[in-house]
Chain A
Amino acid sequence: MIEVIGLNKTFGNKHVLQGIDFTINKGMCNLVIGQSGSGKSVFLKSVVGLHPVDQGQILYDGRDLTKLKHNQLKALRKEIGMVFQGGALFNSSTVEENIKYPMDVFTKWSKKEKQDRIDFCLDRVNIQNSNHLYPSEISGGMQKRVAIARAIALNPKYLFFDEPNSGLDPVTAIVIDDLIQEITKEFNITTMVITHDMNSVMEIGENIMFVYQGNKWWEGNKSMIFKTDNTELNNFVFASDLFKAIKTQVS
């Protein structure tokens, strides 16, 4: 479990995150939603320690990330897996080398053990016969799946996704959503997903935080979204005619 308490972050005069509290539960898909520029990506990068925070606590099972020493932070990061918006695969390495990289750096596994783990991870994300292809030679959806395979290579306790469905067609997006949910349940991982894709919200949103202008505006789950009278959330979630129609039908 990750507890975020009173998180504040400013860039110059801009107060991007204004005292956000959020609990990221274990074995559950925790979603952070919000409009572009609302601060959700900054929130994610602060939680994983890529942005230093100005104020607040980020407790990884009781360990405060903001107070960890260099070596402790390094140790914690080995428990974290992250899938970036663009995949962030090493583009001069093959699919297999990408997944092997964290194993090479942090484990003393034999060649066979590494190969077994690579095969397991690729199999888990349903990728076959692409081990020796470069990221530029595979589709966007496959790149995301390889990024997930790399993120789970060392059995992380915490998994983060930054807009995993951006740039994907609806069918592939559902595949990725299902994969996120399956992996979270199967390995009992603490997962956090940043998204503004409403399909993802309806598909995997078990614990959702809506960020609005740097504040936590609403918290709940996907079924509660239909009943809320929060104006900003309704404006955001039910912006499209399709979702307006769904809401009308549900109500």
Chain B
Amino acid sequence: MKLLFHIGQFGILMKRVFSKPDNHKVLFRNMLKEMDKLGLGSISIIMIITFFMGAVVAIQTALNLESPFVPDKIVGFTTRDSIILEFSSTVTAVILAGIIGSNISSEIGNMRISEQLDAMEIMGVNSAGSIILPKILALFIMMPFLVIIAMVVGISGGFFATLSVDSVSVQNYIEGLQWDFMPYKVFYSLIKSNVFAIIITSVSSYHGFFVKGGALEVGKASTRGVIYSIILILMANLFITYLMLT
């Protein structure tokens, strides 16, 4: 029953979010600000995380698949596919849900408890649309770029890792990267990233928007926003994988 209530309330909120904006110019300006804050602000952390993930995947593959029956280029191949299919989009999204999601929930939650959202409503502004929509659009646009950066940096991480592993040569790693490459997998990952962007921003916003109480409740809402975002990301990941890869 509670789940149905939340689904209904979420639906009503999204209807308000995607209703006609009060002012397109203001929406565009806010969207650019959010692109800077949510997108560009996340690049460094994503680069650090995916670099080390790529390196670890390459080393583990090299150590675990060391066999005369397995071609050496398998390391590059596995690293590439792991990074492109999962790590660049899903793992990045999970990390961003933690960083951006909690940020969004607490920002909107604070606006709720300090009556800033009420002040907007009194002015005749659609508070949901003017606060949440720029965030959804911004991350929707920026997420594919973040994922592409994650792919490049992750694969580079694997490359640098192979320099320290005796069993794989750089030549084999590069050959493996090119082996049986399917651009469709990149497309699949980018589509996933767009869906994850919507989940992170909308779910976190929802939890912040309906906060009641004080600072403690804002913190709880922020945690809930992150948890539900991650669960929904993983569910959506399974669904999209069934849809696009099977």
Q: With an 8 A cutoff between CB atoms, is B245 at the interface?
A: no
CB distance from A164 to the nearest CB of B (A): 14
A80 at the interface (CB under 8 A from B): yes
Do residues B116 and A91 form an inter-chain contact, with CB atoms below 8 A? yes
Mask: chain A, 69-85; 1 = CB below 8 Å from B; 0 = not: 00000111110111011
A105 and B130 in contact, given A74-B124, A77-B124, A86-B114 (Cβ under 8 angstroms): yes
Interface contacts (Cβ under 8 Å), in number, total 54
Q: Is B36 part of the contact surface with A, judged by Cβ < 8 Å?
A: no
CB-based contact A50/B23 at 8 Å: no
Give the residues in chain B near A74, CB-CB below 8 Å. 124
What's the Cα separation between A146 and B125 when bound, in Å? 19
CA separation between A241 and B110, bound complex, in Å? 39
Q: Given A105-B26, A105-B130, A106-B22, answer yes or no on A88-B116 (Cβ-Cβ < 8 Å).
A: yes
Residues of B within 8 A of A86 (CB): 114-115
Q: Are A75 and B124 in contact (CB under 8 A)?
A: yes
Chain A positions within 8 Å of B130 at CB level: 105
**A104 interface hit (Cβ, 8 Å):** yes
For residue A48, CB closer than 8 A to chain B, the reply is yes
The residue in chain A whose Cβ has the minimal distance to the Cβ of B29 is A104
Q: Tell me if A105 and B116 are in contact (CB < 8 A).
A: no
**Chain A residue contacts of B124, Cβ below 8 A:** 74-78, 80, 106
| A-B pairs, 6 with minimum CB distance | A77-B124, A88-B119, A88-B115, A82-B122, A84-B115, A78-B124
Q: Which residues of A contact B122 (CB under 8 A)?
A: 48, 50, 77, 80-82, 160
Interface residues of B: mostly helix, strand, loop or mixed? helix
- Can you pick out 21 interface pairs between chain A and chain B where the beta carbons lie within 8 Å of each other? A76-B124, A77-B122, A77-B123, A77-B124, A80-B122, A80-B123, A81-B122, A82-B119, A82-B122, A84-B115, A86-B115, A88-B115, A88-B118, A90-B119, A91-B114, A91-B116, A104-B25, A105-B22, A105-B125, A106-B123, A106-B124
Shortest Cβ distance from residue A87 to the other chain B in the assembled complex, whole angstroms? 8
Most buried by A among B110, B116, B119, B121: B119
CB pair B121 A77 closer than 8 Å: yes
Closest chain A residue to B107, Cβ basis: A92
Q: Which residue of A lies closest to B110 (CB)?
A: A91
CB within 8 Å of A: which of B94-111?
A: 110-111
CB distance from A75 to the nearest CB of B (A): 7
Q: Please tell me if the beta carbons of B119 and A104 are within 8 angstroms of each other in the complex.
A: no
Interface size, chain B (Cβ < 8 Å)? 17
B interface residues, Cβ below 8 angstroms from A: 22-23, 25-26, 110-111, 114-116, 118-119, 121-125, 130
CA distance A106 to B116 in the complex (A): 18
Contact of A85 (CB < 8 Å), options: B25, B26, B110, B115: B115
Query: Contacts A90-B119, A106-B22 given; 16 further ones with Cβ under 8 A?
Result: A75-B124, A78-B123, A82-B119, A85-B115, A86-B114, A88-B116, A89-B116, A90-B111, A91-B110, A91-B114, A102-B123, A102-B125, A105-B22, A105-B26, A105-B123, A105-B125
- The smallest C-beta distance from A12 to any residue of chain B, in angstroms, reads 14
Q: Contacts of B22 on A, CB cut-off 8 Å?
A: 105-106
CA distance A78 to B125 in the complex (A): 9
The distance in angstroms between the C-alpha atoms of A80 and B23, with both chains bound, is 19
Give the complex CA separation of A88 and B123 in angstroms.
Answer: 12
Contact between chains at A84 and B118 (CB < 8 Å): yes
Residue of B nearest to A82 (CB): B122
How many Å lie between the Cα of A84 and that of B191 in the bound state?
44
Bound CA span A106–B25, Å: 11
CA distance A85 to B114 in the complex (A): 9
List of B residues within 8 angstroms of A101 by Cβ: 123
Q: CA A51 – CA B32 in complex, angstroms?
A: 33
Give bound CA distance, A50 to B22, whole Å: 19
Q: CB within 8 A of B118: which of A50, A75, A78, A102?
A: A50
